[in-house]
Amino acid sequence: RNGIGLRPLGSSAAEFEQDLLSNLYYRRGTTVESASAQDAYESLVLTVRDRLAERRARTTAAHYAANPRWVYYLSAEYLLGRQLEQNILYSGTGEIATAAMKALGVSPEEMDELDIEPGLGNGGLGRLAACLVDAMATLDIPAIGYGIRYDFGIFKQTFVDGAQVEKPDDWTFQGNPWEFPAPDDRQTVFFYGHTTRDEAGRTKWIPGEIVLGEPSHMLVPGYGTETVNIVRLWRARGSESSFDLERFSAGQYAEAVQEAVRAENISKVLYPDDSTELGRELRLKQQYFLVSCSLRDILRRFRLWGGPLTDFPAKSVIQLNDTHPSLAIPELMRLLVDEEGLGWDEAWLLTQRTFAYTCHTLLPEALETWPVALFERLLPRHLEIIYEINQRLLDEVRSRYPGDIDRVRRMSLIQEAPERRVRMAHLAVAGTSAVNGVAELHSQLLAETTLHDFATMWPGKFRNVTNGVSPRRFLRIANPALSELITSALGDSRWAGDLDRLRGLERFADDPAFLRSWRDIKRANKARLGLGDPDALMDVMVKRFHEYKRQQLKLLHVITQYHRIKDNPGGDHVPRTVLFAGKAAPAYHAAKSIIRLINAVAATIEADPAVTPYLKVVFPPNYNVTLGELIIPAADLSEQISLAGKEASGTGNMKLALNGALTIGTLDGANIEIRERVGAENFFLFGLDTPAATELKASGYHPRSYYERDPELRAALDAIMSGAFGGVGKEVAESLLNWDEYLTLADFRAYAECQEAVDRAWQDQTAWTKASLLNTARAGYFSADRTVSDYASTIWHVEPVRVTRD
């Protein structure tokens, strides 16, 4: 018997198979003879899950005994990726699960196909949340990730005539066997209504709508440890009384369920937008729903322990993943002041000490603001609290900077014109004790520009924590062949839990046999991906579509390359497969035009037999974590070409470098740190840096002058304008010529020249492979484990709690 009073589940193949059969009979209610592939899959999941559930029980017991300081990570997005392979790896059941699958007559590949990825996020921020919870468990940090269980995740991207068409992602159509529902932990959430004061002068919020939040959780095991943490996801429900039986009986079926439907809509769909200021009421409702459910749950957990509220920050640190959950600040104030009866000043100190805020952008237009009028209707009490916070903030500003009215206006939580809006980033800075950017340059620019006034007033609050990625998911699982080579070279597989160990690969940088194996694996990964000739240079740009990321710059270069091949068909061109993948926000028309144009250029090239031996453009639809795991290990070249000063960090850049892709990139986000670590000679740098870009914009930027001076650039844009690609994309070219907000044309020539350096480097395959190996060997810093240990030591001040076997 182990510490939880149970006989441990068996670790032999026979026992695993027994448990699997038992799950098939008793939990799926079927037999081997009549089992479908789905039955086999779900039984397998349950068998693996049970082994993690056992660890989860021991984790809970260890946490309870230790009564530690907890990390609560609040995020509107989690892009967890497929669960099966990871959970098999983390539970150490690889061999026995494979044997059981064999006995059952199913293949691991078939089982993976049935393992649906929960697409509960848009892009980088959501995947970062998933990498961080993985690393927190790996480092034995007591933590819970809170999020929303959207019925529909990020849309499924399809192409119709090359244009993006969005389809709903019904990810739980077959259920989700990884999930544990916990309806008894449901919470009540208020919306609308008004406030009143009672005899004692305490404020009471009389809501206009009441919704239930029902949690379920997914297990988040650590790698190489017994810890299993959770992400707890909330789903909105109508209350018991929300079904109107009388109306139903009268045949008013739609009206009878109207209230329940309205409630459930809150967690219906991930707001599929990471660029524009759309969203309004439902999104704000989602944000408050997440925050209100999670804070009540956190307080419930705190009360289990029974300490005084003044100890709350000593036992809880709440990390806000961008401003999306920043309503947690006025919500905690409301709970402490209105419900617990604390005084304002005491409540405010506790609140500030509890929260920390991570900012993920620099673009001022990406900073969230909400109309005051909407707040007033939806969250009347929170608006009062925000006003009170603001008054005290501005008093401090006035006393520190007497007479500086403009500073007061700039720092206010309320933007006055053209419309009164609440500035969520200002709220998040005011209500927290630490604010961090996600790469060195980003953190520095945040303090110098976007949040400059706050950094001047509270310099001690501002930190940097450079992002990182899960080495398990993005190397060990995504790239099994390379992982095996690394393990045999280093002598063991400890690198997956201690990524700096990859440094040991440097010893092989001049070993011809090793470099040959390295190259063979890259080739095999290209063959596995199956898009283009595996001997061609695989040139990869995978990320959300956004003009600042400049997919259009890459496209202009592809067109130039196409022209060069047409003009010189016998020339000695380096064969390339150019791969684009990524989604555009449904309402982001400019990004969608770029997607459509890429597909049109791909088709034109494909139809030209003089060009196809040298150039192929592929654009697999629906980029997600699963597809990333297939593409990233196959990449030779990683495109990180955003305009300097615009990409907060990037994390794809890290995943690609870790898998031995060489980066072509600007001095932006974490590219800078990648280049510093892998060595400038193993990185293709081009383009304007941030000061030069700022200077060029300030001095008056005229994109047309670049067009006029550069014949190849002119030819590329003229080709688009003259309809060479099926008449598609004229608006893209026009926008570049007339406006070009992100200085694409200014960087074009430097980019094209840098791509020539890439071609030259590719000619020497030994040197290229050495550079590839050095990228992997030196990418250890970009492990999410390092990121989490930075958060733990500089912001969270938490200690690990070890979970033992018995």
Residues in the site for ligand 26Y, rule: CB under 6 A? 122-125, 128, 273-274, 360, 366, 368, 438, 467, 647-651, 669
Nearer to ligand 26Y, 131 or 602 (CB): 131
What is the sign of the dihedral through the CA atoms of 370, 371, 375 and 378?
negative
Q: Is 549 a catalytic residue?
A: yes
| Active-site option among 49, 382, 655, 786 | 655
Catalytic residue among 423, 461, 543, 596: 543
Give whichever of 414 and 648 is closer to ligand 26Y, judged by the CB atom: 648
- H helical segments located in 208-358: 245-249, 253-264, 280-305, 312-315, 328-334, 344-354
Cβ-closest residue to ligand 26Y? 124
Alpha-carbon distance 490 to 486, whole Å?
A: 6
Q: State in angstroms the smallest separation of the CB of 541 from ligand 26Y.
A: 15
> Cβ of residue 654: shortest distance to ligand 26Y, in angstroms?
9
Show Cβ contacts of residue 158 under 8 Å, excluding neighbours closer than 6 positions.
164, 165, 166, 167, 621, 622
Which is the catalytic residue, given 237, 544, 616, 786?
544
Please, which residue, 336 or 367, has the CB nearer to ligand 26Y?
A: 367
Residue number, 60 or 444, with CB nearest to ligand 26Y = 444
Q: Least Å distance between CB 508 and ligand 26Y?
A: 31
Token look-up 């590949």 returns 109
Closest CA to 558 of 533, 539, 542: 539
Residues listed for the chain = 806
Q: Are 190 and 205 in contact (CB under 8 A)?
A: yes
Q: What share of the chain is helix, strand, coil (3-state, %, to 5)?
A: 55, 15, 30
Q: Of 49, 51, 360, 592, which is the active-site residue? A: 360
Cβ-based nearer residue to ligand 26Y, 85 or 274 = 274
**Is 797 in the active site?**
no
Specify whether the CB–CB gap between 179 and 216 falls below 8 A.
Answer: yes
Calpha distance 798→70 (Å, rounded): 7
Query: Is 651 a catalytic site residue?
Result: yes
Distance from C-alpha of 138 to C-alpha of 784, rounded to nearest angstrom:
10
Identify whether 544 is a catalytic site residue: yes
Between 532 and 650, name the residue whose CB sits nearer to ligand 26Y: 650
How far apart are CB 321 and ligand 26Y at their closest, in Å? 9
**Shortest Å, Cβ 174 to ligand 26Y:** 28
Given the complex with ligand 26Y, which of 204 and 280 has the nearer CB atom?
A: 280
Q: From the candidates 549, 557, 770, 786, which is the catalytic residue?
A: 549
What gap in Å lies between CA 414 and CA 341, rounded to an integer?
A: 27
Catalytic hit among 225, 323, 351, 651 = 651
Residue 578 C-beta: closest distance to ligand 26Y, Å: 22
Q: How far is the CB of 361 from ligand 26Y (least distance, A)?
A: 6
Q: How far apart, in whole angstroms, are the C-alpha atoms of residue 519 and residue 521? A: 5
- In whole angstroms, how close is the CB of 282 to ligand 26Y at the nearest point? 13
DSSP 3-state of 203: strand
Q: Is 702 a catalytic residue?
A: no
* 684 φ/ψ angles, rounded to the nearest 5 degrees: -100, 105
- Mark whether 235 is an active-site residue: no
Nearest to 153 by CA among 121, 124, 193, 123: 121
- Sign (positive/negative) of CA torsion 629, 633, 637, 643? positive
- Smallest distance, Å, CB 447 to ligand 26Y? 17
Angle at CA of residue 154, ends 786 and 112, nearest 5°:
70
Are the beta carbons of 559 and 719 closer than 8 angstroms?
Answer: yes
Spatial distance between the Cα atoms of 382 and 739, rounded to a whole number of angstroms = 41
d(CA 321, CA 74) in angstroms, rounded, equals: 6
Nearer to ligand 26Y, 477 or 648 (CB): 648
For ligand 26Y, which is the closer residue by CB, 648 or 733?
648
Catalytic sites, residue numbers: 360, 543-544, 549, 651, 655
